[in-house]
């Protein structure tokens, strides 16, 4: 083994026979042309907010251009893009110092397409364009219940659509109307879609954990033996084969199952379902995998959908404002598919969903009846499931450690 040593040598230590001469040369200053920045346009980037209008976005972008605004709102392409505006998507504009719009990229919903408005020599023109390349990141959030689920998800910075997914996933076990307790916790691992370094929307939940009244529930997304991605509990039961307690986004129960005074007939009658008060147009989902048995009008039910499930179970969805496009008898639907929309048809006094569960033709309370759970994996499949999903479930431990450390 050889060793090489290096030492620093300074001019003061050099031998005296080496002469040094300082050379100084004066260089002329470079000729610079100072640009007039008053004429340069600005590139502005702004995120769409919930409930935004195009006028509000123009204001935040510093655009004062009635012609451009009218061009968008008057054209069919512009109207479609405005209808498809989604919160958290990114709008990019090039704006002159005077506020005139030179170009605008308006995202088309959650697709990779943009509607581009440009000002050229011939005036304003519209064209379609593929938006900037998007990347998917994995993000984690956790929260603690103080008053309500959606209050806690908002405080944790969880996007609205992820919060809705969370309520749907755990709706099989937890009644978010009555089961929540102060101090309940949740952990969520989900996809976040980025565009040019900016978050534009949230994607699917990859894994989630909910501690309700001291009892732990957890789900992970996994591609099972059938090759279809589904959500499974920790012990390998598919949530897709369970039943949602509430077949629409979290809402208020306006009438429970059982005997009641009929609001129209004025007589005491059996109420064979649960009523969920919700605004007209609220999407209604299939509570489990099923075949459409009936879709149409039926007396006091108004617009009605009947789904036939396994084990001689049927579910009724009544008073609907309308049906999902193309829905027909004999069609196969999956849990969570939108089948209709809340309304007030038939005998009703306000917009709501009347939801029934019938087992072998007999009505049962949708909120309390024991519904069939999912089948488990085989021993071999369960071992593969646990091994493949271990990295996702380990993230729960990290989030719980950070929570305990914060306390």
* pLDDT tens readout for residues 3-20: 433 344 444 554 556 666
Mention every residue, 6+ apart, whose C-beta is less than 8 A from residue 370: none
* pLDDT tens readout for residues 205-227: 999 999 998 899 999 998 876 56
The predicted pLDDT at position 3 comes to 40
State the sign of the Cα–Cα–Cα–Cα dihedral 284, 285, 290, 292. Answer: positive
- 197 vs 389, more confident: 389
Assign 69 to helix, strand or coil: helix
Whole-angstrom distance, CA of residue 205 vs CA of residue 53:
29
Mean pLDDT value across the chain = 81
- What is the model's pTM? 0.46
The residue-averaged pLDDT of 383-397 equals 86
CATH code of the region 134-241: 3.10.450.350
Give burial (CB, 10 Å; 0-12/13-18/19+) of 294.
middle
The predicted pLDDT at position 291 comes to 92
Domain pair 41-130 / 252-364, same fold: no
Whole-angstrom distance, CA of residue 106 vs CA of residue 82:
8
The predicted pLDDT at position 194 comes to 75
Residue 296 confidence (pLDDT) above 90? yes
* pLDDT tens readout for residues 22-56: 778 887 777 666 555 556 677 777 878 878 888 99
**Residue 169 confidence class, pLDDT cut points 50, 70, 90:** confident
Residue 378 confidence (pLDDT) above 80? no
Residue 292 confidence (pLDDT) above 90? yes
> Listing from the earlier edge strand, what are the strands of the sheet with 123-130?
42-47, 90-95, 101-107, 113-120, 123-130
Sequence spans of domains, the chain: 41-130, 134-241, 252-364
Percent of the chain whose predicted confidence (pLDDT) is above 90: 17
* pLDDT tens readout for residues 343-372: 999 888 889 999 999 999 888 888 888 787
Helix axes 76-83, 66-74, angle to 10 degrees: 90
**Residue 228 confidence class, pLDDT cut points 50, 70, 90:** low
Which fold, 252-364? Answer: Glucose Permease (Domain IIA) (2.70.70)
The predicted pLDDT at position 97 comes to 86
Mention every residue, 6+ apart, whose C-beta is less than 8 A from residue 279: 342, 351
34-62 residues labelled b (16+ CB within 10 A) or e (exposed): eeeeeeeeeeeebebeeebebeebbeebe
Residue 295 confidence (pLDDT) above 70? yes
The predicted pLDDT at position 320 comes to 94
The predicted pLDDT at position 354 comes to 92
The residue-averaged pLDDT of 254-276 equals 69
Place of tokens 């001019």: 11
- 128 vs 252, more confident: 128
* pLDDT tens readout for residues 93-140: 888 888 889 888 888 887 778 888 988 888 898 888 775 666 788 888
Residue 326 confidence (pLDDT) above 80? yes
Q: Which of 313, 316, 294, 315 is nearest to 360 (CA)?
A: 313
Largest CA distance in the chain: 121
Residue 81 confidence (pLDDT) above 50? yes
**Residue 297 confidence class, pLDDT cut points 50, 70, 90:** very high
Counting every residue, how long is the chain?
Answer: 407
The predicted pLDDT at position 396 comes to 82
**Residue 375 confidence class, pLDDT cut points 50, 70, 90:** low
Which fold, 41-130? Answer: Nuclear Transport Factor 2; Chain: A, (3.10.450)
The predicted pLDDT at position 156 comes to 87
**Residue 264 confidence class, pLDDT cut points 50, 70, 90:** low
């Amino acid at each position: 083994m050889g060793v090489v040593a290096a030492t620093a040598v300074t001019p003061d230590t050099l031998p005296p026979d080496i002469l040094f001469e300082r050379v100084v040369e004066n260089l002329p200053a470079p000729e610079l042309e100072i640009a007039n920045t008053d004429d340069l346009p600005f590139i502005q980037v702004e995120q769409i907010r919930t409930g935004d209008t195009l006028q509000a976005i123009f204001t935040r972008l510093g655009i004062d251009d009635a012609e451009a605004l009218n061009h968008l709102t008057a054209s069919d392409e512009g109207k479609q893009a405005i209808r498809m505006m989604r919160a958290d998507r990114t709008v990019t504009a090039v704006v002159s110092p005077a506020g005139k719009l030179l170009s605008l990229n308006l995202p088309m919903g959650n697709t990779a397409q943009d509607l581009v408005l440009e000002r050229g020599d011939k005036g304003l023109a519209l064209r379609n364009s593929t938006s900037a390349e998007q990347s998917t990141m994995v993000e984690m959030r956790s929260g603690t219940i103080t008053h309500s689920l959606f209050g806690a998800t908002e405080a944790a910075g969880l996007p609205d659509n992820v919060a809705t997914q969370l309520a749907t996933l755990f709706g099989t076990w937890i009644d978010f109307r009555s089961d929540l307790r102060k101090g309940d916790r949740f952990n969520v691992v989900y996809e976040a879609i980025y565009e040019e370094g900016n978050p534009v929307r949230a994607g699917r939940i990859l894994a989630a954990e909910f501690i309700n009244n001291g009892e732990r529930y957890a789900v992970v997304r996994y591609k099972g033996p059938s090759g279809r991605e589904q959500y499974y509990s920790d012990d390998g039961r598919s949530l897709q084969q369970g039943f949602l307690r509430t077949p629409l986004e979290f809402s208020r129960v306006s009438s429970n199952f059982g005997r009641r005074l009929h609001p129209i007939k004025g007589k005491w009658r059996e109420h064979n379902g649960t009523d969920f008060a919700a605004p007209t147009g609220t999407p209604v989902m299939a509570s489990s995998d099923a075949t459409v048995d009936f879709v149409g009008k039926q007396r006091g039910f108004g617009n009605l959908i009947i789904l036939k499930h396994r084990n001689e179970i049927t579910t009724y969805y009544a008073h609907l404002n309308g049906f999902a496009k193309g829905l027909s008898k004999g069609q196969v639907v999956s849990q969570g598919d939108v089948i209709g929309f809340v309304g007030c048809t038939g005998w009703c006094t306000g917009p709501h969903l009347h939801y029934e569960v019938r087992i072998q033709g007999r009505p049962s309370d949708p909120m309390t009846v024991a519904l069939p759970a999912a089948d488990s994996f085989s021993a071999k499949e369960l071992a593969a499931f646990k091994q493949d999903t271990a990295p996702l479930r380990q993230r729960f431990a990290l989030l719980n450690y950070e929570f305990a450390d914060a306390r």
